[in-house]
């Protein structure tokens, strides 16, 4: 099959940043205690099926709610329910079930009903039920639709499935590791299972144009399946956002602020596809994940196989550097959630834990340094001449706040072609009116690149978000500028869903 290559204007490719996860997989010990939020991944919180003192087995469903958009939540270890408490997880209120582990039963795991290696014989309904019961359906930005209300749309609504097998971020899970050895075959099986119950959907396999090895393996393996289209993309940030994937892969306009699922498109990562395979063929419920430890704030940066619910502090204990204090960020190095409470657990949606050294030291003649290890959008540091050195990252602002000089860097990197400095000036001068909408403030996908590149260190992303909030207060809503122009699905279900966690 012919490979097509697409890209979008703007964006920025982070090259050779220090602290990339190594191609090594370690299994994290099962913790003494796990914390299982009842709202994980895509969907709403579920109702607890257990109470304090109950004995649970790993893989047992402990929370489920068939009346709302949600997927079941499982106990990830065998043990005793100690406590169920309403707590705050990164700004969301959710019930968290605390289970203390029984070490003697560590290897037990309850399988999902109905799995079989001969899955081709299963009815669609049975596949959907296995996926739902395994909890796989809540993975990724908008979940996998089944007839069990696991997503805002139904399997029939899905037109396209985009499966990126590359990373587009500063730090990425190693696809070589995820899809290495025999996993390519499992991966293809996973895709075939999805195709089986969503036969009308085109599957687009997005590959990187630089990552040759895995590309060849995958394209060779899928070449016999006509329903899989191979597309090659540039590995630049923020290509991994659903917004950019839909725009580049399908060439469609995106209803900014809504889900890809509203368009009938779902985006599923490699790990999700593998979980689909494991659930249907092996009967494995979603109780563990591979996460990447990344950033210059760690001693070592392996990939870890962890049980869901493992407190992040347990993981940090063995890897975090002690000589610097670091900021812990989840998922996205630029705009991910900053973790202040380290006792919070890994959830289904966690894939990266990033540690960035908090650098509040002043540096003598900082602006005159050669900068072999400094990353910059402009070619003003030696790092552009010596690209073979790993570059470092920290949370220092690297300069003083200055007025905008209209250098246009922010416009050049903006992936959705809006002019951040213009919007920033409007918001700063408190001009909140229709012109902001005209300049497409609602198209901002919040990638943070504009603030990243600004030499005047203007917090453009914050200004834009502030502008959106102020517009809402004046009664100018996003929906009024988006809805009339799209035929969106699942709008009723869309209300009240948050993807965080």
Decide if residue 226 touches another protein (CB under 8 A).
no
Closer by beta carbon to ligand SF4, 309 or else 415 = 415
Q: Which of residues 127-156 bind another protein (CB under 8 A)?
A: none
DSSP 346: P
CA atoms lying within 13 Å on the CB side of residue 51: 0
- Helix 420-428 and helix 460-473, axial crossing angle in degrees, nearest 10: 60
Continuous segment of H or E residues that includes residue 334: none
Decide if residue 255 touches ligand SF4 (CB under 6 A).
no
Q: Which of residues 154-183 bind another protein (CB under 8 A)?
A: 170
Cβ–Cβ under 8 Å, residues 100 and 80: yes
Closer by beta carbon to another protein, 244 or else 315 = 244
Mark the segment that binds another protein (CB under 8 A) among 183-191, 267-275, 305-313, 357-365.
Answer: 357-365
Mark the segment that binds another protein (CB under 8 A) among 161-169, 257-265, 303-311, 451-459.
Answer: 451-459
The two structure tokens encoding residue 131? 């996926």
The two structure tokens encoding residue 414? 């903006």
Q: Which of residues 455-484 bind another protein (CB under 8 A)?
A: 455-457, 459, 461-462, 481-482, 484
Decide if residue 375 touches another protein (CB under 8 A).
yes
Instruction: Work out what residue 481 binds among ligand SF4, another protein, none; the CB cut-off runs from 5 to 8 Å by kind.
Output: another protein
Three-state secondary-structure class, residue 14: coil
Those residues with Cβ within 8 angstroms of residue 224's Cβ, 6 or more apart along the chain or in another chain = none
Number of residues that bind another protein (CB under 8 A): 87
Q: How far is the CB of 409 from ligand SF4 (least distance, A)?
A: 4
Q: Which of residues 114-153 bind ligand SF4 (CB under 6 A)?
A: none
Q: Which of residues 282-301 bind another protein (CB under 8 A)?
A: none
Q: Which of residues 401-430 bind ligand SF4 (CB under 6 A)?
A: 404-410, 413-416, 418, 420-421, 424
Closer by beta carbon to another protein, 23 or else 474 = 474
Closer by beta carbon to another protein, 29 or else 363 = 363
Closer by beta carbon to another protein, 251 or else 475 = 251
Number of residues that bind ligand SF4 (CB under 6 A): 30
Decide if residue 374 touches another protein (CB under 8 A).
yes
Q: Which of residues 425-484 bind ligand SF4 (CB under 6 A)?
A: 444-450, 453-456, 458, 460-461, 464
The two structure tokens encoding residue 192? 């075939």
DSSP 47: E
Continuous segment of H or E residues that includes residue 32: none
Instruction: Work out what residue 23 binds among ligand SF4, another protein, none; the CB cut-off runs from 5 to 8 Å by kind.
Output: none
Closer by beta carbon to ligand SF4, 77 or else 449 = 449
Residue 374 CB neighbours (<10 A): 18
The two structure tokens encoding residue 408? 């246009």
Q: Which of residues 1-40 bind ligand SF4 (CB under 6 A)?
A: none
Of 110, 111, 278, 302, nearest in space to 189 by CA: 278
Instruction: Work out what residue 360 binds among another protein, ligand SF4, none; the CB cut-off runs from 5 to 8 Å by kind.
Output: another protein
Residue 32 CB neighbours (<10 A): 12
Q: Which of residues 152-211 bind ligand SF4 (CB under 6 A)?
A: none
First to last CA, the chain: 38
Closer by beta carbon to ligand SF4, 201 or else 449 = 449
Write out the DSSP string of 272-290. Answer: HHHHHHIIIII---S-EEE
Closer by beta carbon to ligand SF4, 211 or else 243 = 243
The two structure tokens encoding residue 335? 């705009």
DSSP 415: T
Give all strands (DSSP E) within 40-198, no chain letters: 47-48, 55-56, 61-64, 73-74, 79-89, 92-101, 160-164
Phi, psi values for residue 272, rounded to 5°: -65, -45
Q: How far is the CB of 470 from ligand SF4 (least distance, A)?
A: 16
Phi, psi values for residue 436, rounded to 5°: -60, -40
Instruction: Work out what residue 420 binds among another protein, ligand SF4, none; the CB cut-off runs from 5 to 8 Å by kind.
Output: ligand SF4
Place of tokens 């999805």: 194
Closer by beta carbon to another protein, 32 or else 210 = 210
Q: Which residues bind ligand SF4 (CB under 6 A)?
A: 404-410, 413-416, 418, 420-421, 424, 444-450, 453-456, 458, 460-461, 464
């Amino acid at each position: 099959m012919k490979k097509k290559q697409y890209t979008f204007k703007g964006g920025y490719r982070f090259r050779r940043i220090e602290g990339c996860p190594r191609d090594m997989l370690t299994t994290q010990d099962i913790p003494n205690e796990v914390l299982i939020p009842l709202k994980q991944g895509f969907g709403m919180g579920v109702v607890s099926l257990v109470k304090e003192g109950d004995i649970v087995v790993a893989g047992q469903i402990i929370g489920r709610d068939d009346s709302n958009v949600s997927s079941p939540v499982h106990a990830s270890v065998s043990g005793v329910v100690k406590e169920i408490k309403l707590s705050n997880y990164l700004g969301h209120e959710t019930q968290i079930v605390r289970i203390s582990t029984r070490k003697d039963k560590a290897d037990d795991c309850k399988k999902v009903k109905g799995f079989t290696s001969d899955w081709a014989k299963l009815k669609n309904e049975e596949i959907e039920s296995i996926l739902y019961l395994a909890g796989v359906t809540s993975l990724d930005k908008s979940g996998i639709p089944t007839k069990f209300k696991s997503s805002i749309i139904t399997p029939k609504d899905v037109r396209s499935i985009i499966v990126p097998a590359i990373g587009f971020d500063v730090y990425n899970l190693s696809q070589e590791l995820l899809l290495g050895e025999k996993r390519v075959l499992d991966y293809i099986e996973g895709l075939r299972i999805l195709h089986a119950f969503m036969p009308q959907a085109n599957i687009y396999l997005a590959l990187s144009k630089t990552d040759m090895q895995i590309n060849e393996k995958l394209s060779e393996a899928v070449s016999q399946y006509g329903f899989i289209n191979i597309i090659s993309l540039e590995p630049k940030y923020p290509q991994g956002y659903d917004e950019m994937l839909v725009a580049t892969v399908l060439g469609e306009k995106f209803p900014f602020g809504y889900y890809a699922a509203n368009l009938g498109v779902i985006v599923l990562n490699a790990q999700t596809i593998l979980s689909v395979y494991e659930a249907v063929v092996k009967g494995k419920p979603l109780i563990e994940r591979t996460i990447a430890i990344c950033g210059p704030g760690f001693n070592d940066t392996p990939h870890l196989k962890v049980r869901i619910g493992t407190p992040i502090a347990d993981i940090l204990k063995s890897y975090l550097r002690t000589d610097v204090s670091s900021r812990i960020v989840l998922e996205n190095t630029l705009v991910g959630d900053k973790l202040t409470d380290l006792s919070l657990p890994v959830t289904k949606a966690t894939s990266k834990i990033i540690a960035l050294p908090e650098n509040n030291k002043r540096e003598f003649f900082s602006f005159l340094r050669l900068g072999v290890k400094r990353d910059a959008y402009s070619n003003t540091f030696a790092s552009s001449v010596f690209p073979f050195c790993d570059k470092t990252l920290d949370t220092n602002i690297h300069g003083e706040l200055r007025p905008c000089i209209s250098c246009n860097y922010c416009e050049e990197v903006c992936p959705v072609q809006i002019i951040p400095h213009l919007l920033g000036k409007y918001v700063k001068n408190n001009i909140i009116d229709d012109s902001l909408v005209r300049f497409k403030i609602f198209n901002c996908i919040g990638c943070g690149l504009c603030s990243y590149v600004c030499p005047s260190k203007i917090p453009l992303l914050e200004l834009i978000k502030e502008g959106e909030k102020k517009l809402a207060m004046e009664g100018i809503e996003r929906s009024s500028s988006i809805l009339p122009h799209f035929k969106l699905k699942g709008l009723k279900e869309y209300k009240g869903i948050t993807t965080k966690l």
